[in-house]
Chains A and B, each alone.
Chain A
Amino acid sequence: MIDGLQAAAFDALLARTGGVVLLIIDERLRILRAGAEAARLTERDVADLEGMSLIAAFGSAGLDAVCREAATSGQPRSGEAELGRAGSERAFAIEVVPIPHSGAFVVALRDVSPLRRVERVRRDFVANISHELRTPLASIKLLAETLNAGAIEDEATARDFVTQIERETDHLAQLVDELLDLSLIESGETTLVIEALDPDVVLNAVAGRIGPVAQRRGIGVVRSGPGEHRVRAAGDAGRLGQAILNLAHNAVKYSHPGGEVRLAWEPRRDRVRFTVADDGIGVPEAHRERIFERFYKVDRARARDPADEPAHETLGGSSGLGLAIVRHIAEAHRGAVGLESVDGRGSTFWIEVPVAGSAG
């Protein structure tokens, strides 16, 4: 069994390894010593844990199996298991190391659930991309096949099909652009060129680009600001404009025909806030938190609703990437994004960047 010196070494280790669950067990998988993190994870007192079997304390078949292997072989072993209360388990990496000449083992458990979550997101990402790319590709192929099979002889049909192919190609191109943008920004490989920007100039540029698109849908664009001012925003003109334009595109896309989109800005403590408001369909409460995730769309069925077709014609299809790009741009500026919305009555999206000359 462990002696006083080993126990002292364990206590010293405990003191220096916050966040790691540490135990000493014997070869019969009984807990000899436990730290505060172990107590927290198992929702028991340290005193209760000491003397308990590993399976009684943690109730994990996986942890038990790894420790048993170490105990029978006398060799270090590692593995992974889900630990914690059923329904809210987290993934832990397990390391079991024998303490020489003692018959005891140190068990260290490290929470790796954030890592696992990231991996999962990445897996979903790839699955999503292929799905989004396949849809337009499939329709292009179908249209081309139909043309080849004889539709090309009929002038009107042929023209219609070619227009549709063009539209699908635009959508694909937009998707690829957005994906490249997103991966560039996410990898941190784009360096922002931060300048002191006049917020009115930024908004004018956005208004100039969204105007014609809005007009085609019968939607008005209104600009406003605090009037006379000397405030400058610390931003990359291109990227910041792109972010606000994305918000404006959405505002037009999710507005009812005849609606109004309002672009505005205001100084807010050490930041400048740009807002894009609409009276469109709004974002239901339940979705507001997730809407900035890539590929997240409120309702796939609604996004493909034929009633939305006019919007799709002028704005391209829906990728669910626009807001993810906006968020990344905001974060790259050390700014923030957010929204206020009344479901069915409209939304106000905002993006903030630091005031030029302010610290940070």
Chain B
Amino acid sequence: MTDTDPMEPRLRREHGNLRSVFDEAMSMVKDDVLRLGALVESALERAGRALQERDIELADQVRWDDAHVNELQRRVNQEVTTAMALQQPMARDLRELLALYHAAAELERMGDYAVNIAKLAQQLSDEPEAPLLPQIPQMERLCREQLHDAMRALVDVSEEAARAVCARDDELDALYNSVYEASMDLMAAHPDRVRQATHMLFAAHHLERLGDRVTNIGEDVVYVATGQVEDLNA
């Protein structure tokens, strides 16, 4: 909302126009970042399913679709750079643009992790069939929930929701540790399954890293809301 000052109608109108042009640009950036989040969420879901169902084709699809993620991130970068140059935003606007720019970069990396998991799904399906450690689908699901919640916190610029996302990262770390233990046990007990155990450990590792990047987005939201940079992944 702009102040109404009857003394300067012309200026007000122009300022109002600038404002709405900027708002328009901002919501375009924001929507594209949210789109990026939705693409990554879907990539992660399919990578997880490929892992569970030994579905090589689905994994292939995830690998191909990553190009869309990269392209969309490039577009966000461009939109942000243009908005900065033309509008020279200040204070909260500037923070929001920077946060979106940063979130897009994090999401692009998360897309890469989903691709890594898809590749592991393909390697695992070359091995004799062995049950997947149950923690892995749990981690995959938790990651998706976290990502979903983080994107919603971004929509609402909700500091509280963002902090909640960061706090939940511990669950993911605990699951990762338990996969670590379980795969070590598996290797010790079944030397013929070392490769499977290693692949599973790596999948869990990527999921754990992906979770860290989700908390980075949570930190971005807190930064927009408060102007403070905090490390919430201690």
A60 within 8 A of B: yes
| Among A59, A62, A82, A86, contact of B34 (Cβ-Cβ < 8 Å) | A59
Is the beta-carbon distance between A53 and B141 smaller than 8 angstroms?
A: no
Alpha-carbon gap, A62 to B35, bound state (A): 10
Question: 9 closest pairs, A vs B, by CB?
Answer: A86-B148, A61-B38, A86-B144, A86-B145, A55-B34, A56-B155, A61-B39, A53-B31, A87-B141
Alpha-carbon gap, A59 to B144, bound state (A): 12
- Chain B residue, CB-CB nearest to A62: B42
Interface residues of B (CB under 8 A from A): 27, 30-31, 34-35, 37-39, 41-42, 45, 141-142, 144-145, 147-149, 151-152, 155
| Among A29, A52, A59, A64, contact of B41 (Cβ-Cβ < 8 Å) | A59
Is the beta-carbon distance between A85 and B145 smaller than 8 angstroms?
A: yes
Alpha-carbon gap, A53 to B30, bound state (A): 10
Alpha-carbon gap, A193 to B12, bound state (A): 85
Is the beta-carbon distance between A55 and B145 smaller than 8 angstroms?
A: no
Alpha-carbon gap, A85 to B141, bound state (A): 11
Q: Helix, strand, loop or mixed for chain B's interface?
A: helix
Residues of chain A with a CB closer than 8 A to B42's CB? 61-62, 82
Alpha-carbon gap, A86 to B141, bound state (A): 7
A-B contact pairs, 7 of them (CB 8 A): A56-B34, A59-B38, A59-B148, A86-B41, A86-B141, A86-B144, A86-B145
Alpha-carbon gap, A80 to B179, bound state (A): 35
Alpha-carbon gap, A56 to B151, bound state (A): 8
Residues of chain B with a CB closer than 8 A to A61's CB? 35, 38-39, 41-42
- Chain A residue, CB-CB nearest to B27: A53
Residues of chain A with a CB closer than 8 A to B148's CB? 59, 85-86
Given contacts A62-B42, A86-B148, 11 further A-B contacts (CB under 8 A): A29-B31, A55-B34, A56-B30, A56-B31, A56-B34, A59-B38, A61-B39, A64-B38, A85-B148, A86-B144, A86-B145
Residues of chain A with a CB closer than 8 A to B141's CB? 86-87
Residues of chain A with a CB closer than 8 A to B35's CB? 55, 61, 64
Residues of chain A with a CB closer than 8 A to B147's CB? 86
Is the beta-carbon distance between B145 and A59 smaller than 8 angstroms?
A: no
Alpha-carbon gap, A60 to B35, bound state (A): 7
Q: How many residues of A contact B (CB 8 A)?
A: 14
Alpha-carbon gap, A29 to B35, bound state (A): 12
Tell me the A72-114 residues at the B interface (CB within 8 Å): 82, 85-87
Is the beta-carbon distance between A60 and B155 smaller than 8 angstroms?
A: no
Residues of chain A with a CB closer than 8 A to B155's CB? 52, 56
Alpha-carbon gap, A62 to B42, bound state (A): 9
Residues of chain A with a CB closer than 8 A to B45's CB? 82
Q: Name which of A53, A56, A62, A87 has the most chain B CB atoms within 10 A of its CB.
A: A56
Residues of chain B with a CB closer than 8 A to A64's CB? 35, 38
Alpha-carbon gap, A62 to B45, bound state (A): 13
Is the beta-carbon distance between A55 and B38 smaller than 8 angstroms?
A: yes
Alpha-carbon gap, A213 to B79, bound state (A): 78
Residues of chain B with a CB closer than 8 A to A52's CB? 155
Q: Beyond A87-B141, A87-B145, is A59–B31 a contact (Cβ under 8 Å)?
A: no
Alpha-carbon gap, A29 to B39, bound state (A): 17
Is the beta-carbon distance between A87 and B144 smaller than 8 angstroms?
A: yes
Residues of chain B with a CB closer than 8 A to A29's CB? 31
Mark interface residues in A35-54 (1 if CB within 8 Å of B CB, else 0).
00000000000000000110
| Among A55, A62, A82, A86, contact of B31 (Cβ-Cβ < 8 Å) | A55
- Chain A residue, CB-CB nearest to B35: A55
Residues of chain B with a CB closer than 8 A to A56's CB? 30-31, 34, 155
- Chain B residue, CB-CB nearest to A29: B31
Residues of chain B with a CB closer than 8 A to A85's CB? 145, 148
Alpha-carbon gap, A226 to B143, bound state (A): 58
**Whole-angstrom distance from the CB of B228 to the nearest CB of chain A?**
24
- Chain A residue, CB-CB nearest to B141: A87
**Whole-angstrom distance from the CB of B18 to the nearest CB of chain A?**
20
Q: Name which of B30, B34, B142, B149 has the most chain A CB atoms within 10 A of its CB.
A: B34
Residues of chain A with a CB closer than 8 A to B38's CB? 55, 59-61, 64
Alpha-carbon gap, A22 to B155, bound state (A): 21
- Chain A residue, CB-CB nearest to B42: A61
Residues of chain A with a CB closer than 8 A to B142's CB? 87
